[in-house]
Structure 1
Amino acid sequence: MSIIQLEPIAALATAPGIGAIAVLRVSGEGAITLTNRIFRGKDLTVQASHTAHFGTIRQPDGSIIDEVLATVFRGPRSFTKEDVVEISCHGSEFIIQQILRRLTQEGVRLARPGEFTQRAFLNGQFDLVQAEAVADLIASDSDASHRAALTQLRGGFSKQLKELRQQLIDFVALVELELDFGEEDVEFAQRDRLRQLMLDIRRVLHPLIESFSVGNAIKNGVPTVIVGKPNAGKSTLLNALLNEEKAIVSDIPGTTRDIIEDELFINGIRFRLIDTAGLRQATDQIEAIGIERTQQKMRDAALIIYLFDAQFIFPHDLQTAISEMKDSGKPYLLVGNKLDTLTTGRRQELEDVAIEPIVWISAARHAGIDTLKEALSLRVRTDAAVQTGSAVVTNARHYEHLTGTDDALAHATKGLDAGVTPDWLAMDLRIALQHLGELTGEITTDDLLDSIFSKFCIGK
């Protein structure tokens, strides 16, 4: 692939704000020459790639803006595959703006969001899935999301899909060739081999499609709702999990009227904990609104913690709660609070009724909280998937194209079994190819690229 050297662009590559060091990135045709015009030190235009040089950035009148370190990267051995200079200066907002101003005076344009990564993609540094992983890697805020993004950046599933797509392209070409000999009843594309290829592709697709629920939780956090009767200890549990006084705790039933949310990291997974109003018959309009919000949060949740007061709950009430949790279709944990008040017989009675495991805690005494955290981690089961280095789909766009490919191949397989004509078969295969091509970026539009890279930070 030939390297495209586009007009030079520049932007702050480090986070905005005052800091010890800031890095400005310049990339594009003439980037080294243009930077050299404002740099006083060694002549950057004759320096080897991947070398750093101390000097100063100066105003047109020769006055010094700052002492800097200029690092030269010659294309194609750079992130964008263009000529690149990275200027490390002091992290003063004034200094940053003055250097950017000097660069624009020499003909450098300020970069748009994600434009450096977009140029890297256009120059074949990586495919579109890997390019999007750059943004995910920057935004990763947990061990799991970091590993998932890193796996994607290293190729993830896209390389395998590109190879399978090429094989499918070869078969589509043969099927369409048959259309030119429609009256001669010839078969260039061997149907058994085509069926096996479609089966092989779908075997790759299915684990990726199924991983999206895990991947979405890794990327965005697991919405985890704490529900139960009033005074079960929901707010106390939230405080115990967070190890801070986040929610107001009171013996008065119905204290929590609104939704309280915070985040907790367990084994590299981000949980979005949501404390809710107690589930009961509302006594006033405000409480009724709170309970309705609780029910909505339960519908939106990825995981439900059903907390009950082990001292006062009746066995049939526990059975009813378990039945409601099962009907919700959501993963849930049964958590019995006030363990310190339980007799052995009472605990056994509730465990016999529940049949399934109960996590026993005393939220007020912080007893059993570590056990609950481990149970939450195991219930989500994201860690094992990511620890193995398996590719996990975290992007809704990827999921959409993977399912679109699978649907098209499933339809093509049914058509193959039914003996459809080559034109109908080719149509389904072209739809599958379109989805795979848009997924990896082999088929793109300007609108698609603008939409993807506009979500990046300016200097990336």
Structure 2
Amino acid sequence: MSFSLSEREDTIIALATPQGVGAIAVIRLSGKNAIKITNEVFFGKNLENQASHTIHFGTIRDGEKIIDEVLVSIFKAPKSFTKENVVEISTHGSSYIINQVLKLFVRNGVRLAKPGEFTQRAFLNGQFDLAQAEAVADLIHADSETSHQAALNQMRGGFSSEIQELRNQLIHFTSMIELELDFVEEDVEFASRDDLRALVERILTIVEELILSFDLGNVIKNGVPTVIAGKPNAGKSTLLNALLNEEKAIVSDIAGTTRDFIEDEISIGGVIFRFIDTAGLRETTDTIEAIGVSRTQEKMKTASLILYLFDLSDTDLVEINRDINKLENLGVPFLKVANKTDKAKENISKELKLQHPDTIFISAGKKENLEGLKSRILELVNLDKFRTGNTVVTNIRHYDSLTKTRESLLDVLTGLDNQVTNDFLAMDIRRALHYLGEITGQVTTDDLLANIFSKFCIGK
């Protein structure tokens, strides 16, 4: 989805609030003629004579026919979201009214907006850079405190300013090296190679920290896939129900009740966890249950965290140690959760604490020590870096550009080690600048913009 120069001159319109019946709906227009065209169908004050950032009551009419009583907000360029003239019409939330208003404006020369076109215009008009534009979509879809905070920080330019500072430092050295190419016969050095090495190493340190932050950023943005696993009747479904505070999963004393997996989300400490209740792990001749066990094993391999439940009323230490060894070989972070403390066999809890002091003891059925379990779960996510205000990368596109930047900077260091000529050094630095510029949109293509903004909703 790309826009021609003529399309960028169009006045566009879209419903900015969700589809469906509601108390009100907001219809948004943007473009040079947005206020003028609205004024032609609005009966009230002359909108073209009103100040920016004002709201006006009146009616929208199709000829003599009144479609609705509305409030019209006007924002005059460049003091608007898109830096164009913007109008927002608040109507009643009837789908009939919305459609009548949209059709009226289309007949008057306004074009229906494409997905993300308002935000793309804001980017193209210099309201913010590409990373900030992407953060708008992240902010809309944020469903937890941490994802909201990460998107807000990026939208306000925290990440962009850090990338821009890195580019500025590299640009200075590139210009000095390229200047040397004009004086190659004089053998003049405008850029100290030691200073260049120190700069590249310093930037590499920052870039690598940003790359490493993506694991945390991905957790913040998409949630933590957390598998609840264990033997049949260990209390997995009971734990899921207790964490969700609802009867999501069927609970039964009959082993093998859960044949597939059940999934739901819960926010713990501002982080979304996607808990997955799985089939009990055991050897079985039941074909359907065997499929469930196989799926459980696959889910465990791809999880970010495993809560492995031991039934204290029906498990011995030999079996527990055998399961722990299997989990350690799996290579996925896991918590040892001893369940049914109220029914524990004599001495097993004491022995388990001695051999595995990091075990968490709970009773899912009685909802005992669930807060302690949640605290331990949060410890493994490690949000300290995020909460201290450090920049966290949450976007896979940014992560990809940063890894390519790192490769280019490593090539610069290799070139310095091998004393390559200035033109090769300049080429590697320009590649690093290119990939950093891709993040903020200083280097871009129509295809890239089309891919990014096509994922936005129509009215944004």
Q: TM-score, normalized by length of structure 1?
A: 0.95
Tell me, yes or no, if the aligned pair for 1:277 and 1:290 is still in contact at 8 Å.
yes
1:311 aligns with 2:313: yes
For residue 136 of structure 1, the aligned residue among 119, 132, 138 is 138
CA distance in 2, matches of 1:201, 1:92: 55
Tell me, yes or no, if the aligned pair for 1:151 and 1:389 is still in contact at 8 Å.
no
For residue 207 of structure 2, the aligned residue among 190, 201, 205 is 205
For residue 457 of structure 1, what is the aligned residue in structure 2? 457
CA distance in 2, matches of 1:269, 1:86: 34
Supply the AA of the counterpart residue of 1:304: I
Q: Greater CA deviation, 162-171 or 143-152? A: 162-171
Q: TM-score, normalized by length of structure 2?
A: 0.95
Supply the AA of the counterpart residue of 1:372: L
How is 1:58-457 mapped onto 2 (pairs within 5 angstroms)? 58-60=61-63, 62-182=64-184, 184-342=186-344, 345-354=347-356, 356-382=357-383, 384-457=384-457
Stretches of structure 2 lacking an aligned partner (at least 5 in a row): 1-6
Supply the AA of the counterpart residue of 2:16: A
Tell me, yes or no, if the aligned pair for 1:315 and 1:353 is still in contact at 8 Å.
no
Aligned length: 454
1:33 aligns with 2:36: yes
Q: Greater CA deviation, 137-146 or 410-419? A: 410-419
Shift of 1:16: 1.3
Tell me, yes or no, if the aligned pair for 1:114 and 1:457 is still in contact at 8 Å.
yes
Shift of 1:184: 4.9
CA distance in 2, matches of 1:193, 1:320: 56
CA distance in 2, matches of 1:267, 1:160: 27
Q: Greater CA deviation, 191-200 or 86-95? A: 191-200
Question: Match of 1:457, SS?
Answer: coil
Shift of 1:344: 7.2
Q: Describe the shift of the 1:423–1:323 C-alpha distance in structure 2 as closer, same or farther (beyond 3 A).
A: farther
Question: Match of 1:157, SS?
Answer: helix
Shift of 1:41: 0.6
Tell me, yes or no, if the aligned pair for 1:157 and 1:391 is still in contact at 8 Å.
yes
Q: Describe the shift of the 1:184–1:316 C-alpha distance in structure 2 as closer, same or farther (beyond 3 A).
A: farther
CA distance in 1, matches of 2:160, 2:328: 37
CA distance in 1, matches of 2:183, 2:294: 65
Question: Match of 1:277, SS?
Answer: coil
Deviations 1:325-357 (A, max 9, x none): 222222211100110123673212012222x41
Tell me, yes or no, if the aligned pair for 1:5 and 1:82 is still in contact at 8 Å.
no
1:43 aligns with 2:46: yes
Deviations 1:360-408 (A, max 9, x none): 11111111222212221222123x3443333221111111111111221
For residue 21 of structure 1, what is the aligned residue in structure 2? 24
CA distance in 1, matches of 2:306, 2:115: 38
The percent of aligned pairs where both chains have the same amino acid is 59
Shift of 1:304: 0.6
CA distance in 2, matches of 1:307, 1:394: 31
Shift of 1:180: 4.2
CA distance in 2, matches of 1:153, 1:28: 23
Supply the AA of the counterpart residue of 1:414: T
CA distance in 2, matches of 1:71, 1:124: 23
Shift of 1:5: 7.3
CA distance in 2, matches of 1:343, 1:185: 84
CA distance in 1, matches of 2:246, 2:88: 43
Shift of 1:124: 0.9
Tell me, yes or no, if the aligned pair for 1:267 and 1:377 is still in contact at 8 Å.
yes
Supply the AA of the counterpart residue of 2:20: G
Shift of 1:268: 1.2
Deviations 1:201-244 (A, max 9, x none): 22322222111111111111110001111221111111111122
Deviations 1:249-306 (A, max 9, x none): 2222222211111111111111111111122223233222212111111111111101
Question: Match of 2:158, SS?
Answer: coil
Stretches of structure 1 lacking an aligned partner (at least 5 in a row): none
For residue 12 of structure 2, what is the aligned residue in structure 1? 9
Q: Greater CA deviation, 181-190 or 305-314? A: 181-190
Q: Describe the shift of the 1:152–1:392 C-alpha distance in structure 2 as closer, same or farther (beyond 3 A).
A: same
Supply the AA of the counterpart residue of 1:453: F
Shift of 1:172: 1.7
CA distance in 1, matches of 2:425, 2:285: 63
Deviations 1:399-442 (A, max 9, x none): 11111112211221132123222232222212211110111100
Supply the AA of the counterpart residue of 1:369: L
Question: Match of 2:237, SS?
Answer: helix
